[in-house]
Every structure is written in structure tokens, then in C-alpha cells.
Amino acid sequence: MGGFSRPFAMATLPASSDTPARLSRALSRMLSLDDFEAAARRRLPRPIFGYVAGAAEDNQSLHANRHDFGRYAFQPRVLVDVSGRSQHTELFGRRYESPFGIAPMGISALSAYRGDIVQARAAREQGIPAILSGTALIALEDVIREAPGTWFQAYLPGDPARIDALVARAAQAGYETLVLTVDIPVSANRENNVRTGFSTPLKPSLRLAWDGLTHPRWLAGTFLRTLLNHGMPHFENSFATRGAPIVSASVLRDFSARDHLNWEHVARIRRQWQGTLIIKGILHPADARLARQHGADGIIVSNHGGRQLDGAISPLRALPGVVDAAGDMPVMMDSGVRRGGDVLKALALGARFVFVGRPFNYAAAVGGQAGVSHAIGLLRAEVDRNMAILGVNRLSEVGPDLLVPA
């Protein structure tokens, strides 16, 4: 792993221009996950915020992911003693404090300084899982060292030798849960990135420089601090060796050549990987059955947050059919979850667990690890409050009988 040395580790900038008191005041104004998005829009340069917030083409799937939660209404029970309620949940032999975790998000370290570590640490302290993205700018070894128990999400390289090497690297680093994201045979049409000035590779320009200069807290606290302490960011986890820097033209080559991947590659990984294997990106019941047949331990129903196929069904709508096909295999979901009520609606439709992405990225940008912890606390409090009002004490009591069509 000699390729993971850190050049230029000679200078240190303050972690943030925010004093603890100022940060505390800022976080006290964050009353919901959506509040972090508005605050992050002000703090982040337009290209970085646009990359995180945007999706594919016309954003149909992005909007449907939120809209479809409104297709269901709760039908609560009353006069139930809920004084002993608990949202603890068991998943793959582990106990988590809440039925939600942090979804994998690429290049989080451009939103917040050491953003992947910040999110993973907060998740571990709060007793929930975080999934490190395969397109992170921080080496997977560094993240698991800081936050044991983190899951690793891989985008499979294009040839078996590189797949084997990446899987072996994750195992050697100490990861116990591998999440294969399988919904990217080709890169999506993300026009939103172009419109906001974000590109892959990241191309220096007057516009990009101006965006940085007009957001000095991000420029000093995230970008310049990263350059001084760790050098130019690279894609660290695409292969068994260090990937290309974010400004390199070879970045596109590194993320291509996946259109031939198939279920035989999953079978190959299953033979090699001794830990928990999860398939992410399932929307069709037939694929849930295939995942089970090929030895997956669980699946995540996901349309990639609307960032791949615009017009794809929302995970919430796909959930009941996929759950039926999955048998006893745990089914999780992501995309569009913003409230505790959303979490409970997904559980009522058969999900065992949900993952939340963009809001925790925004929380890291606004308040670092404290921001992520605050966001987790907000969502946890909503789940608890809604359980009480619904009249349930355990998540196992949350079923389709609590929902009606809106």
C-alpha cells in the first residue's frame, strides 16, 4: 500500500473558521434534514453543491423519490402504552441504535474536510452504520482505522483480476460488509453537473476559481487544508492501488468499461468474500431473486438517488415487489428519505433498514462531525416521536396495516 503516502503534509490550517459557539448556534437553527441543504447551498461553491444536489437529465426520478412517500398516509392507533418504545434494530447479527444509516456518497471530502471520515466517525459514535463510497477521496484503510464497523461500497472494475484485487484489499483492511453497487453499466447523463460547472475530471477555470474565492470558509477550511495536508485529492478506492487525481484526464477511463459485468462476476466475488455481501441498486423483483440465488446476504433497493436512469421507478414503489421476491433475505432501501416518517413508511412496506445520503453530506459541510451527529439526532428523534404517535413500541410492529393510500 505504498501508493497511499500523503505528500505536502507540512502545514495545517484551522479545521474551520467557525468557533464552537458559532457552530453551536448554527446547528441550533437546523431543525430538520432539509435545513442542512439550504445551509450547505450557501456554504459550498456552486459546482460542488450542484454535484451533490443534482441527478440525471430532467430529475424525474429525483423528484419521484420524495413525492412517492406522499402516496401513503399513516393510520395510527391510540391509547397504547408506548412508554417502553425502542428503535433498536438487529441487522446481520449486529445491533444498531436506529433503523437508518449513512449511504455512500462520492467525493464527500470536497464538501467537508475529510468528509468520509467525519461521517463514519459520527455514525459509529451514534450507533448506526456508514457506507464508504468507492469513489471516495480518502483511502478505505484510513476510514476503517478511524471508524471500525464501516461498510465498504465498491464499483466493480472491468476485469476479474482487478475485481479480485479490490475485494482482497477491502478484506485485508478489515471491512466485514461489502456493498456491490450494480446499477452503473455506463455513466449517467448528468447535465446538472455541466450547468453548475462541475466536471469529471475537475477542470481548473476562472469560474471555478471565482466560486472558491466567494466561499472563503470552504476554500480555507476544506480545499486548501486538504491540499496542504494531503496533496491533490485522488480517487482512492476504485482499484487495489491508488486511482487518478481528480484533475486527471484518466479519471473517465477509470470509471468506464463496466457494461459487460454480469451475475457471474457476483458469483466470483461471493466465492472470495467471506463477510457480509450486499447488492445495491436493485429495483426489479427478478433481480432480487437472482441476488439471493448468487449468495447475497442482503440487497439495497435504490435508484442511485435519481442519479442514473431518469424515469426509473422510485425505491419506495419498488419495495413491496422486491420484498416479496427476496424471501427471507434482508431488504434495505435508500433514495428520498428525509424524515422519520419516511423511515417508518419504508419499514412498513417491508424494508429492514434505510440509508440516507445527501442530507448527511450537507450536514458535514455545515458542521463537520458535530453537524452529522446533530442530523442523526434529528432523524432519530423524529422516528421516536412518530412511533409514539403511531402507537408502536418496537419496529417489528411497524407493518402495512399502519398505512393507507393517501
- Whether residue 10 lies inside any domain: the answer is no
- Whether residue 240 lies inside any domain: the answer is no
- Whether residue 132 lies inside any domain: the answer is yes
- Whether residue 380 lies inside any domain: the answer is yes
356, β-bridge pairs: 102
Q: State yes or no: 51 annotated in a binding site.
A: yes
pLDDT band at 78 (very low <50, low <70, confident <90, very high): very high
Q: State yes or no: 304 annotated in a binding site.
A: yes
Q: State yes or no: 105 annotated in a binding site.
A: yes
Q: State yes or no: 396 annotated in a binding site.
A: no
Strands 94-96 and 89-91: antiparallel
The string of DSSP codes covering 155-205 is PPPSSHHHHHHHHHHHHHHT--EEEEE---SS----HHHHHHT--SS----
353, β-bridge pairs: 332
Average pLDDT, the chain: 91
- Whether residue 228 lies inside any domain: the answer is no
For the ranges 12-16, 98-102, 188-192, 296-300, which has the lowest average pLDDT?
A: 12-16
Q: State yes or no: 119 annotated in a binding site.
A: no
Q: State yes or no: 167 annotated in a binding site.
A: no
Whether 215 is catalytic is no
pLDDT band at 189 (very low <50, low <70, confident <90, very high): confident
pLDDT band at 3 (very low <50, low <70, confident <90, very high): very low
pLDDT at 6 over 50: no
Distance CA 399, CA 402 (A): 6
Distance CA 338, CA 67 (A): 11
Best CA proximity match to 389, nearest among 72, 82, 69: 82
Best CA proximity match to 361, nearest among 48, 29, 140, 87: 48
* pTM for the structure as a whole: 0.92
Given the residues 215, 234, 265, 304, the one annotated as active site: 304
Summarize the confidence of residues 360-388 as an average pLDDT. 97
- Whether residue 341 lies inside any domain: the answer is yes
Q: State yes or no: 336 annotated in a binding site.
A: yes
- Whether residue 313 lies inside any domain: the answer is yes
Which pLDDT score, from 0 to 100, does residue 203 have?
A: 77
Residues 6+ apart with CB under 8 A from 85: 384, 387, 388, 392, 393, 394
Best CA proximity match to 322, nearest among 313, 314, 331: 331
Q: State yes or no: 158 annotated in a binding site.
A: no
218-277 pLDDT tens trace: 999 999 999 999 999 999 998 888 877 887 766 665 665 688 889 999 999 999 999 999
Q: State yes or no: 373 annotated in a binding site.
A: no
The string of DSSP codes covering 271-316 is HH--SEEEEEEE-SHHHHHHHHHTT-SEEEE--GGGTSSTTPPPHH
What is the number of domains present in the chain?
1
**CB 54, CB 361: distance < 8 Å:** no
Distance CA 259, CA 157 (A): 11
Q: State yes or no: 68 annotated in a binding site.
A: no
Q: State yes or no: 187 annotated in a binding site.
A: no
| CATH code for the domain in which residue 298 is found | 3.20.20.70
pLDDT band at 383 (very low <50, low <70, confident <90, very high): very high
113-159 pLDDT tens trace: 999 999 999 999 999 999 999 999 999 999 999 999 999 999 988 78
- Cα dist from 203 to 5, 194, 217, 248, whole Å: 24, 12, 21, 9
Distance CA 64, CA 55 (A): 12
Which domain does 318 fall in, by range? 29-192+252-405
Summarize the confidence of residues 298-306 as an average pLDDT. 96
Residues 6+ apart with CB under 8 A from 98: 87, 88, 89, 126, 127, 128, 376, 379, 380, 383
- Whether residue 322 lies inside any domain: the answer is yes
Residue of 364 and 248 predicted with greater confidence: 364
pLDDT at 395 over 90: yes
